[in-house]
Amino acid sequence: MTESGFRPTGTPDLAVAKSHNDFAMLEPREQLATLLKEHVVGRPFSELAAVTFDHRAATVMGHVLIDALEDAGYSIDDFDAVGALTAASVPMVSAMIQAAASRGEDLDGFVMDFVYPSIKGPSIEGRRVVLLDAWLSEKSYVQTSSLVTLRNGNELSLDFGIVEQLGAKVVAIASLVGGGVKDINVVNPSTGDEQTLPFIQVFDESELR
């Protein structure tokens, strides 16, 4: 019922079209927040694949991620490639590549090999990289990149170690949703060296609940 007390008129198709138009009128960051809230509210954690593989998110999340990195002090000139830590973050890599291209910038991508401890994509030797995940917090479950991660129980440290072993430098870790931390400590399992990496989140969990 409407405020006047009358039943809304119009076909269901018109109502759907209005909903789509309302969504399209939102700013890109607000569009992404709208999609994320559906899968964050009431849940301790979600891989968020339902969002990152959504065509509506694909058109905006690359730009939103680049903007978040720039706001944190990392311009697109500060990194050469972005890497997906999980299957759900693979579309994020593609979105950032295309967003960078639309701004006249070159950016490569890669994905952690989920079977063999390596990467898939162009060589990252001598390159500066940003690692990506959809939702990364102390409650999150990071999808394993290899059987070794199951044994070691520290997936992110292993992924970091693999990237460093391939000759790349990790400059930051970025996520669509985070738990509010400013940095993440990782340990290279090959050398035992510890390093603190900046963590950039587009949204804090509290913003979406």
The tens digit of pLDDT for each residue in 107-120 reads 999 999 877 889 99
In a domain? residue 190: yes
Length in residues, the chain: 209
Contacts 24+ apart (CB under 8 A), 147-151: 148/117
Residues 6+ apart with CB under 8 A from 77: 105
Among 3-12, 95-104, 157-166, the least confident range: 3-12
Question: Which pTM was predicted?
Answer: 0.86
In a domain? residue 146: yes
% the chain with pLDDT above 70: 83
Contacts 24+ apart (CB under 8 A), 152-155: 152/189, 154/187, 154/189, 155/85
Specify the pLDDT at position 143: 45
The tens digit of pLDDT for each residue in 118-149 reads 999 999 999 999 999 999 876 654 444 433 33
Specify the pLDDT at position 152: 43
% the chain with pLDDT above 90: 63
CATH of the domain at 86: 3.40.50.2020
**Average of per-residue pLDDT across 21-49:** 94
What range does the domain containing 204 cover?
12-208
- How confident is the prediction for the chain on average, in pLDDT? 87
In a domain? residue 5: no
Specify the pLDDT at position 96: 98
Please give the backbone phi and psi of residue 148, each rounded to the nearest 5 degrees, phi first. -60, -35
The amino acid sitting at 133 is D
Overall number of domains in the chain: 1
Specify the pLDDT at position 44: 86
The tens digit of pLDDT for each residue in 2-16 reads 565 656 655 556 555
In a domain? residue 1: no
